[in-house]
Amino acid sequence: MNLRRLSLCMIVKDEEDCIGKCLNSIKDVVDEMIIVDTGSSDRTVEICKSFGAQVFDFPWNGSFSAARNYGLDRATGDWILWLDADEEVDSSDAYKFRNVLYYDDYLLSIHLINYYGDLPDPNKTFDIAHTRLFRNYKGFKFRNNIHEMLNADEVLTETDNNQAIKTVPIKVYHYGYLDYVNKNKKKFERNLEMLKNELTQKDHSPWIDYHIASEYYRVEQYDKAFDHVNRSIRGFLQELKTPPSLLYRLKYSILIASGSIDGAWPGIDRAVSLYPDYVDLHFYKGLILYIRESYEEALETFEHCLKLGEENLHHLTLKGLGSFQALYYIGCCLEKLGQIEAAAKSYALAANLSQTFDSPVEALRKLKIKHQDIFKELPADSDV
């Protein structure tokens, strides 16, 4: 058998706080590490070299894609894995990279787990399949100066593009959206400046408006976020493409967060019809119905969220919307409908699934205070 080789390709700058953890998670399964440094002033380069990495200097020119492509040109492996410095491969999955090198595919996705909040919490993640493995020497390059993407549509044939990209069972944890990381690196200011510059480019991708909308959403500037996400949706439609599911997810997140429930209804039904397998959109529909006091319809919708679950990585999915958060809102609906014991059981199930999701615990506490007569009558071994 012709032994295939795997190249790790990364770009870095001032990553001494996390680069060692990243490289340590992958060092035993890659054949070479190609790292492009865009101007570190800390110990990043020294740490990379201690892992045996080849480090190349690349003067920053305002383009993440240019820096990544510089690294790709120096990779000699049959396959390329690309990671960011603030990521880490699951220790129990790393060995699987050696197996997938013998797939016939040109492009593969991994399971990317994005943490958010104060600290890494397995119940506070956004999960998605993300294309991180591709065959070398096939023409793959990165494009867009920021939020760079592979040019898969240019490399893959029409037949390939009509087939789903396989997701291999390898988990990669991303820590870059944690609150302290965003604050320390001033990502909002940097990203927004670069993205707005991208908007001035002729024929810019509709993705740019989406990413601008995401930045504004994170800092709760909802009017600006809503304007740009709608521009992104229009941009895809003008290209005769169905807007990707996460655009609708962001749109209805904005409307709910800003209290624009009338603006969200009944439009959410159209989004659900486009992506009927997307649990997040169903969950948002349930929230909208609940706020509109349509409790029976909301209950049915949240129960459907449980049926859908959270295993579909084709969509960006918030942990809990097909499990403990849906159960919590089922409890809310049941309580509004006067089904107190059933509501309590649903709250208890939600609390058992997540030790850090406080809402069902608080709801159960209030329910027991409000309905002491009912709870006194329950047997001692009751699960509520």
Q: Is residue 299 part of a domain?
A: no
- Cα distances from 156 to residues 28, 135, 152, 160, in angstroms, run 30, 11, 6, 6
Q: What integer pLDDT is reported at residue 157 of this predicted model?
A: 77
* 8 A C-beta contact, residue 34 and residue 71: yes
Phi and psi angles of residue 192, each rounded to the nearest 5 degrees, phi first: -65, -40
Q: How sure is the predictor about 86, in pLDDT bands with cuts at 50, 70 and 90?
A: very high
Q: Is the pLDDT of residue 1 over 70?
A: no
The answer to whether residues 127 and 310 touch, using CB atoms and an 8 Å cutoff, is yes
Any domain includes 82: yes
Domain with 359 in it: 323-384
- Per-residue pLDDT, averaged over 152-168, amounts to 80
Question: Range with the lowest mean pLDDT among 55-64, 80-89, 186-195, 251-260?
Answer: 186-195
Answer with the one of 194, 220, 243 that is the final residue of a domain. 243
Q: Which of 334, 325, 321 lies closest to 371 in space, CA to CA?
A: 334
- State the pLDDT at residue 259: 95
Confidence of residue 202 (pLDDT cuts 50, 70, 90): confident
Same domain, 172 and 59: yes
pTM score: 0.93
pLDDT at 264: 96
Same domain for 43 and 151: yes
What pLDDT does residue 161 have? Answer: 55
**Looking at the domain assignment, is residue 87 inside a domain?**
yes
pLDDT band at 187 (very low <50, low <70, confident <90, very high): confident
Q: What percent of the chain has pLDDT over 70?
A: 95
Query: In whole angstroms, what is the distance from residue 246 CA to residue 116 CA?
Result: 17
User: Which of 314, 307, 321 is closest to 354 using CA atoms?
Assistant: 321
Domain co-membership, 57 together with 107? yes
Same domain, 72 and 123: yes
* Residues 159 and 223 occupy one common structural domain: no
What's the pLDDT score for residue 26?
98
Q: Is residue 71 part of a domain?
A: yes
255 belongs to a structural domain = no
Are 51 and 156 part of one and the same domain?
yes
In a domain, 50, yes or no: yes
Number of domains in the chain: 3
pLDDT tens per residue, range 216-268: 999 999 999 999 999 999 999 999 999 999 999 999 999 999 999 999 999 99
Q: Which residue has the higher pLDDT, 384 or 96?
A: 96
Quote the pLDDT of residue 224: 98
Of the listed ranges 197-201, 286-290, 307-311, 360-364, the one predicted with least confidence: 197-201
Distances (CA, A) of 281 to 117, 276, 318: 22, 8, 11
For residues 239 and 143, state if they share a domain: no
Q: What is the model's pLDDT at position 383?
A: 56
Provide the 3-class DSSP secondary structure of residue 76. Answer: coil
Distance in angstroms (rounded) separating the CA atoms of residues 308 and 272 = 13
Residue 294: inside a domain: no
Give tens-digit pLDDT for 109-125: 999 999 999 999 999 99
**Under a CB-based contact definition with an 8 Å cutoff, are residues 97 and 171 in contact?**
no
CB proximity list for 345: less than 8 A, separation 6 or greater: 331, 383, 384
Look at residue 58 in the predicted model and tell me its pLDDT.
Answer: 98
Evaluate if residue 345 carries a pLDDT over 90: yes
Region 319-335: mean pLDDT is: 98
Q: Are residues 23 and 101 in the same domain?
A: yes
pLDDT for position 43: 98
Residues with Cβ < 8 Å from 45, sequence gap 6 or more?
37, 55
Q: What is the CATH number of the domain that holds 237?
A: 1.25.40
Residues 145, 11 share a domain = yes
Average pLDDT over residues 42-63: 97
In a domain, 256, yes or no: no
pLDDT, average across residues 60-68: 96
CA of 236: how far to CAs of 183, 194, 239, 320, in Å? 32, 21, 5, 29
Q: What percent of the chain has pLDDT over 90?
A: 89
Picking from 43-52, 163-172, 230-239, which range would have the lowest pLDDT averaged per residue? Answer: 163-172
The CATH number covering residue 17 comes to 3.90.550.10
Residue 188, pLDDT above cutoff 80: yes
Among 243, 265, 281, the domain-final residue is 243
